[in-house]
Structure 1
């Protein structure tokens, strides 16, 4: 009997269709998560989730789903999303592992990193990095941090001075915040900055958000292993050019740093010291490269997001901006008095930053984890092993069940004592707010981020009067696409010398 390709293809397609129909029926009716609500198509197949993810709309869509279905939504056949604050401590401190699809290794590097690592390797990395990100170490680098921020301020003054009016200038604060945060984090990690502020010029690294778009697409294919395997072979080298440039910069930074034996401590100092002190906590050259790259990307992007978000909402609420201006300028008659430690005690400044992190979370999506063998309870619901769970920060912080008037910029909500029964914000769920996550996989850079945010925002309002330029408007923050991080749009601000 002769082989008939047409009949074989028809049989294959029929088999795939039959399997898909059976799987859809199982997912909707018989799956252990069948009792949890969500859109029918999302409960039936993973594809709607994946399609929304690569379009940059996933956190927005999940927010709308929670508004429709409540605090628990089934967003895929095997995945639940929670906005109940109780889920924070049930998921993240328990050391649930990242699902396979989210344990990514960037192309070109086989070494483990803070995201892809096994628990023993992750613990090793955190043990090495913890001293570098301690409060003591971060404040030892305050002079370096202030040096870059003071350069930011000088460059902005020069921009005003070179403007034809000599009184004011319109600047893109997204660009300037990017310059400053990249320079700080580069110096913090490697002991040398990107010199963006010196040259008033973007470094190609700043375009890293484009790489997160690519990473999401690559991650989407991981839900379909046969396609994932094919992708490796069909991706043209030209599509990876920007990533190779980032790797080359990282390799050069590491090489240059390893030749220096003296100077101010940086994160590399602790990596080098670990290799000299203990084979148990040895970190390889490739591991240095990939982990420092991730720290630079996350450290710069998160601070830029918070600063841009704070500036955005302050400009839309001039009365609140003036409260902050008065607090900073009356507290500090002289600029030299502005220090990281003293800024900790400015209530309105810190409330503004808290509210900015709530409305503009640096990671708007959920950090997904997988229920371990034997199952576990999350927010009072016992879930079977293999279930993927997360708390989407954007949806959680925008939920009326967690915050009064959640879409409004109200720094005052963070100034209210829980015992104040007369406050409109007395029922706000402060335990829902964990912008740097919690548990062993939380962000190690929290102290550095707050030091940068406080110093930059305080010095901006001390030096400059800011307003929305006439005839222009700010981007609608809540309409920006999200590719793991916010795909932030240019933000033009009129600045003028305050002194």
Structure 2
């Protein structure tokens, strides 16, 4: 967070060095003064960075861990490698080359072992959130605060918004949006058009979360086009792809060069969310939503003004965490079902006598849950994010001692495909989650919703959306890859920008004979 101030300090110091040379030694000779100032600056920078390099490579507490040579010297190596926002592929390649524990930064270890998830998030762990979570500052939110007491206090308020009673009130509204989605797909299918499900699933999830965050849908399913605010948000999320390894560089962009287009989109998105939350606070006669519990708690304690930064940050959290995770999961569920027709048939058979609008009944369809879990395993909605920091006294992990205050990365994209944890890890086998449990060798490697105090507060809402949309469409349509679609883009163009952003996927939806009447 001090990066912008440090940059300003060094800029001013450089100017003063030039002035000092200009008037103190070179008697007004601008060229000689500039050369002398540059020499001093270069000498200082050379000494500084050389000493840092020597320390990091030969004296640092992580020096004995394997990894790319440049990764241990500077995090800019990682930025360059992530310039295409495909960190999940990069880390997967690193695992194959260097093994289970790899140094991927001067003070960072990436751990490809199933023990890492319970060790950093599970009960009794002493880890904290890493500096990455300061990304949203000065806004603060449930999922970005690094203070455990603040998080726990805020989490208790959020839990009211996702209680069983609250979910019952949301159920009918989610069904309305799911039916609107189905109608749009039916209209396209009736005219023989392929359906770009990547766009349509984002329309659905953002409309749902817009209503739950601001009591007002984005209207994308009705308008059949992207809302300008969602366009800004999705552009802004691209910032997290290449800059997640160095969040301090993003802070420089926010405060020093806000005219850069991606930074401008990020700031505009934050302003838009603040304005919607301000409108939501004044709103009357709305249906109960998640933000109701947050605002109501602030009003009851007379802390509404003090909590405005929390409310603004929580608005961003609801939208991103609730939309940018469910949408890609839906994309991959239908991608996998489209290329595995046998699994699609088996799911349809399991749903045949089930009332899909009964949340409890859907939860009891084992194969449906298996399809969702298997998709989450192969294509996690958060491929590599979720950085943690080891405690002040260090910790033991995967048989090795991890030094204090080390950033720990636990990439779910690779963990979900470890042969040591899953039999036939590259294959789509939903049965492993209910009738073939022997195919899951180590359940610790599967935690798509995290666990412990940082587990996803909206897990039940998300699973409800996934189950309903999947059941609604599978029960009515035969789903295949559209003509000319091989499905490669959805994986090859996937961007890891904290949440997964899959490539375009076009599917065909053929109404089943029993429904054609």
TM-score, reference length from structure 2: 0.85
In the other structure, the counterpart of 1:293 is 316
In the other structure, the counterpart of 1:265 is 288
Q: Is the alpha carbon distance of 1:251 and 1:118 closer, same or farther for their aligned partners in structure 2, counting shifts above 3 Å? A: same
In the other structure, the counterpart of 2:369 is 350
Gap runs ≥5 in structure 2: 1-23, 27-32
Indicate whether 1:96 and 2:127 are aligned. yes
- In the alignment, is the contact (CA less than 8 A) between 1:72 and 1:83 conserved in 2? yes
1:492 aligned to which of 494, 506, 516:
506
Taking the TM superposition and a 5 Å limit, the aligned residue runs for 1:273-284 are 273-278=296-301, 284=307
Indicate whether 1:86 and 2:115 are aligned. yes
Q: Distance in 2 between the 1:278 and 1:349 partners?
A: 43
Deviations 1:463-482 (A, max 9, x none): 21111122332234442232
- In the alignment, is the contact (CA less than 8 A) between 1:80 and 1:389 conserved in 2? yes
In the other structure, the counterpart of 1:450 is 463
Q: Is the alpha carbon distance of 1:92 and 1:279 closer, same or farther for their aligned partners in structure 2, counting shifts above 3 Å? A: farther
Taking the TM superposition and a 5 Å limit, the aligned residue runs for 1:92-131 are 92-93=121-122, 94=125, 96-105=127-136, 110-114=138-142, 115-131=144-160
With 85-94 and 249-258 compared, the bigger mean Cα shift is at: 249-258
1:185 aligned to which of 201, 209, 212:
209
In the other structure, the counterpart of 2:11 is none
- In the alignment, is the contact (CA less than 8 A) between 2:324 and 2:500 conserved in 1? no
Q: Distance in 2 between the 1:410 and 1:281 partners?
A: 49
- In the alignment, is the contact (CA less than 8 A) between 1:169 and 1:496 conserved in 2? no
Partner secondary structure for residue 449 of structure 1 = helix
Q: Is the alpha carbon distance of 1:245 and 1:131 closer, same or farther for their aligned partners in structure 2, counting shifts above 3 Å? A: same
In the other structure, the counterpart of 1:60 is 89
Taking the TM superposition and a 5 Å limit, the aligned residue runs for 1:154-193 are 154-161=183-190, 163=191, 168-193=192-217
2:259 aligned to which of 222, 225, 236:
236
Q: Is the alpha carbon distance of 1:58 and 1:180 closer, same or farther for their aligned partners in structure 2, counting shifts above 3 Å? A: same
Taking the TM superposition and a 5 Å limit, the aligned residue runs for 1:36-51 are 36-51=65-80
Q: Distance in 1 between the 2:253 and 2:433 partners?
A: 50
Q: Distance in 2 between the 1:44 and 1:341 partners?
A: 53
Taking the TM superposition and a 5 Å limit, the aligned residue runs for 1:78-477 are 78-93=107-122, 94=125, 96-105=127-136, 110-114=138-142, 115-161=144-190, 163=191, 168-207=192-231, 208-216=233-241, 222-223=247-248, 229=252, 232-236=255-259, 240-243=263-266, 245-247=268-270, 249-278=272-301, 284-328=307-351, 330-332=352-354, 338-416=357-435, 418=437, 423=438, 425=439, 428-477=441-490
Gap runs ≥5 in structure 1: none
Q: Is the alpha carbon distance of 1:378 and 1:278 closer, same or farther for their aligned partners in structure 2, counting shifts above 3 Å? A: farther
Q: Distance in 2 between the 1:66 and 1:323 partners?
A: 35
- In the alignment, is the contact (CA less than 8 A) between 1:90 and 1:379 conserved in 2? no
TM-score, reference length from structure 1: 0.88
1:22 aligned to which of 38, 42, 51:
51
Q: Following TM superposition, by how much is the alpha carbon of 1:125 offset from its aligned partner in structure 2, in angstroms?
A: 2.1
User: What is the aligned-residue RMSD (CA, Å)?
Assistant: 2.6
